[in-house]
Amino acid sequence: MSAAGRTGAPVPLAIWVLLLLAPFWLGPVGGYTALGTRVLVLGLAAMSLNLLLGFTGVLSFGHAAWFGLGAYGAGLALKFVALSTPLALLLGTLTGGLAGALLGALIVHRRGIYFAMVTIAFGQVFYYIAYRWNSLTGGDDGLRGFARQDITLGPWHLDIAGNGTAFYYFVLTCFAVAVGLMALLLRSPFGRTLLAIRENERRARFLGIPVELHIWIAFALSCVFISFAGALYALLNNFADPNNLHYSLSGDLVIMAVLGGMRSFWGPLLGAAVFVVLQDYVSSLTTNWMSFVGLLFVLVVLFFPRGLLGILRRQGTA
């Protein structure tokens, strides 16, 4: 069975039902539609990182850079290029994706902690550029003065600018397309090769697999997906700021992937949902909300190495 399908049929079915009906059940349980949209966006970002971490075995602590570049690319496109949501998504994705692909070629020969530290270094370079370039990025105040635009195709009009529910379903559609492409990638021979590299890089190299090339392609694709998530995040908030590029966000994404189960396809989405909900509700009670996330993270790492999704599978509910 492929890596993307190891969670079994009931898991994707339950996830899609919950996501499709989210605007209807979030309110009664104390949530709101924008919270569900944020889960989708950060879930996609965590799944993008997990393409590299969980399925290739390479840890990046600088992936927030590409997420932030996607956000700034989308915001700058709306502010200075054209009032077009699709164009903003495209330019945001290209901004982070191309930057990630170019820099990935420089670091692909590094492994382990060296790879992770180099990604942090590059990520912080972009962070300080965004922080200091006040005339373009707004500096510490962030990029303002743009807003997502409605989408009109002939007689069909989608009000995503003022309708939170419509925007949720727009993001869900984007999420479905990205996740579908990711699943097809992991089911392909290329995806199986990534798993071989993760399990035993030396043996994969002995078999004649160009390991560096495969890792670079996986890194570049991961950057494209997470830049797309970053562009959606800018549209969600109508705002982009340097914190979107900071390494602390990269750490949050790693926590999401590990919490949910980094060797499962849907695990990072579950981890993102738990992280976002805890952040939203616990932070309203105490400023030390991250302590609760940290405690949960430690418990999962110590006692449930397969993540929260692994717990559900063990209980037979997934």
Domains of the chain, residue spans: 3-314
Among candidate residues 179, 261, 185, the one with its CA nearest the CA of residue 2: 185
| 9 has a pLDDT exceeding 80 | no
The pLDDT of residue 126 is 94
Mean pLDDT of the region 57-81: 94
Average pLDDT of the segment spanning 137-159: 89
Tell the CATH topology of 3-314. ABC transporter involved in vitamin B12 uptake, BtuC (1.10.3470)
Q: What is the pLDDT of residue 292?
A: 84
pLDDT band at 294 (very low <50, low <70, confident <90, very high): confident
| Residue 105 pLDDT greater than 80, yes or no | yes
Query: How high is the mean pLDDT of the chain?
Result: 90
- The terminus-to-terminus CA distance of the chain in angstroms comes to 16
- Whether the pLDDT of residue 139 is over 80: the answer is yes
